[in-house]
Chains A and B, each alone.
With several copies, the nearest count.
Chain A
Amino acid sequence: MTQPGDKSFEADIRHKNGRQLALFVNLEGFEGPIDLLLSLARDQKVDLTHIAILPLAEQYLNFISSARQLNLEIAADYLLMAAWLAYLKSRLLLPEPEPEGDEEIIDMADALRYQLVRLEAMQQAAKRLISLPRLGQRRFARGAVEQLCITDEAVWHAGLYDLLACYGDIRSELENETLTISATKLFSVEEAAERLRHLIGSMPDWTVLENFLPANLREPIDRRSATASHFVASLELARDGLLKLRQDAHYTPLYIKSKDAP
């Protein structure tokens, strides 16, 4: 369904490339990769539902690679799309796709077309929306408001936005405060030494140091803190002659054992 290689068309695209780069020196004018693809697709001047995906993919890839040659910073979204299109292109170019893979690749091309058509529809809807006779532009409300009667509507005025923004502020302040609390959750070396002193007696044989870490460490930062403080504590206890340390090779687990153990 997708015809690779309408030669004159591709030449046309190459010809256009320079102009396009001049037009969009960077990608900031686009609302994401689909938006960029859509803009490229519009240049083909065909019904989007029948747009040929292969030349479009090539155009996008050329565009991105030219932008890279110019050392423009390209957001990850665009690169991800480029990778995906490169894959799609390679599949579309396979001389004889195996039967079951064929359908999948057609689905992918159709899916891309659908995304383009849908976004195009929404962009047009946005234009129609903004050109409606809007209040304050082509329709007007009463200019001289009269205070007449407000019976059950609140005397005090507050909108949803006010409420949410207010709560946002409250929470922001709370979060700032909680940070200090969470910082104290980190393990001190003294605590770790205390734990090890208590636990080491119940471990008769060599045991990996990590087994001595508290079980309820959910956050990675807590875990790292506990590992560090337990390591330092084990060095201190070994120095004081309370336990023995063993490591078989660089970067391998650290074992500890009570000095009383056999």
Chain B
Amino acid sequence: MTEKTVLMGYAATVEAIIFASDKPVRERELRHHIPDEQDMVPIIEVIQQRFDASCGIELRQVGDGWAFRTRVEVAEQLNQHKQVERPLSRAALEVLAIIAYHQPITRAEIEEIRGISLSKGTMDILLELTWIKPRGRRRTPGRPLTWGTSPAFLDHFGLDDITDLPGLDELKSAGLLRKGQMLGALMDTPPTNQDYDADEQGDDLLDEKPMEEAMFEAGLSVNSDEEGADA
């Protein structure tokens, strides 16, 4: 058997496993069926060649797994298959977006961004949909739990990676992905920006910068005299 044939053989196995499932199959699971020394990349390439743009189905990476999904281009033809789903409430959708774009984020920070406390059931729904999951605790007093999105979220919204969120870069450079409360902070105690630096996992979608920079980037004039800006 030539090397090519061997590779095709592995590709057939991997294809079949992923194709059989409606959920993404983790790469670790696939590895059980191919020899340790075999690299995964060429196998995936073989499969992706078969399921090229002319095909109605595509191989998608979902977190650390792979799944076959129909291509968006043929969506119009598939309309009659549309799943009936309970529409997400406006609050739940807004919270989902805030978690997706600001992760890892605590419950309190979500409430600060929306300027209203979260009603019971909102997080519950997102958790039940398996779109969000805990993302470690903040190293601040009370060690609050932070939340982020799950691989199922990526799969559902057709994103390869969380950095593929629409408009993420613009929001980031506009300084709009800053956590923390502005109004409350000004109303009573000075904001403690350092609270937000010490994130345990450190993989926020943005570099931590003080709030006034965020406001500057957002196009808001901030008095840059030494004293005025340290609120």
Residue A134 lies at the interface, judged by CB distance under 8 Å to chain B: yes
Residues 102-144 of A contacting B (Cβ, < 8 Å) = 103-104, 106-108, 110-115, 117-119, 121-126, 128-130, 132-144
Residue B1 lies at the interface, judged by CB distance under 8 Å to chain A: no
By the criterion of a CB under 8 Å from any partner CB, how many residues of chain A are at the interface? 85
CB of A132 within 8 A of CB of B159, answer: yes
Partner of B157, one of A151, A163, A182: A163
Residue A164 lies at the interface, judged by CB distance under 8 Å to chain B: yes
Residue A211 lies at the interface, judged by CB distance under 8 Å to chain B: no
- Bound complex: CA A158 to CA B156 (Å): 9
Taking the closest CB of chain A, its distance from the CB of B210, in whole angstroms, is 13
Residues 105-160 of B contacting A (Cβ, < 8 Å) = 113-117, 125, 127-131, 133, 155-159
Residue A165 lies at the interface, judged by CB distance under 8 Å to chain B: yes
CB of A157 within 8 A of CB of B21, answer: no
Residue A32 lies at the interface, judged by CB distance under 8 Å to chain B: yes
CB of A144 within 8 A of CB of B22, answer: yes
Among B20, B69, B215, residue most surrounded by chain A Cβ atoms (within 10 Å): B20
- Chain B residues with CB under 8 A of A152: 28-29, 32
CB of B130 within 8 A of CB of A160, answer: yes
- Minimum CB distance partner of B214 in chain A: A114
CB of B215 within 8 A of CB of A110, answer: yes
- Chain B residues with CB under 8 A of A221: 186
- Chain B residues with CB under 8 A of A133: 72, 75, 158
Task: From A14-22, A54-62, A166-174, A239-247, give the one contacting chain B.
Answer: A166-174
Residue A162 lies at the interface, judged by CB distance under 8 Å to chain B: yes
Chain B: number of interface residues, binned into ranges: 35 or more
Residue interface bits B89-115, CB-to-A below 8 A is 1, else 0 = 111111011101100000000000111
- Minimum CB distance partner of B74 in chain A: A148
- Bound complex: CA A121 to CA B222 (Å): 20
Taking the closest CB of chain A, its distance from the CB of B156, in whole angstroms, is 5
| Contact of A125 with B167 at beta-carbon distance under 8 Å, contacts A119-B114, A148-B82, A160-B157 already known | yes
CB of B16 within 8 A of CB of A148, answer: yes
CB of A158 within 8 A of CB of B176, answer: no
Taking the closest CB of chain B, its distance from the CB of A239, in whole angstroms, is 34
CB of B69 within 8 A of CB of A135, answer: yes
- Bound complex: CA A118 to CA B3 (Å): 51
- Chain A residues with CB under 8 A of B174: 121, 164
Residue A149 lies at the interface, judged by CB distance under 8 Å to chain B: yes
| Contact of A135 with B155 at beta-carbon distance under 8 Å, contacts A122-B98, A158-B88 already known | yes
CB of B17 within 8 A of CB of A149, answer: yes
| Contact of A32 with B29 at beta-carbon distance under 8 Å, contacts A103-B223, A122-B97 already known | no
CB of B21 within 8 A of CB of A144, answer: yes
Residue B11 lies at the interface, judged by CB distance under 8 Å to chain A: no
CB of B113 within 8 A of CB of A138, answer: no
CB of B68 within 8 A of CB of A142, answer: yes
- Bound complex: CA A149 to CA B85 (Å): 10
Partner of B70, one of A146, A157, A167, A219: A146
- Minimum CB distance partner of A132 in chain B: B157
Q: List 16 A-B contacts (CB under 8 A).
A: A106-B221, A107-B186, A107-B223, A108-B186, A110-B220, A126-B97, A129-B97, A134-B156, A136-B82, A138-B78, A143-B22, A147-B85, A149-B81, A157-B88, A159-B157, A175-B177
A interface residue numbers (CB < 8 A to B): 1, 31-35, 47, 49-50, 77, 81, 84, 103-104, 106-108, 110-115, 117-119, 121-126, 128-130, 132-176, 178-179, 182, 219, 221
A sample of 7 more A-B contacts (CB under 8 A), given A136-B83, A146-B70, A175-B177, is A123-B94, A146-B69, A146-B75, A148-B20, A164-B176, A165-B176, A172-B180
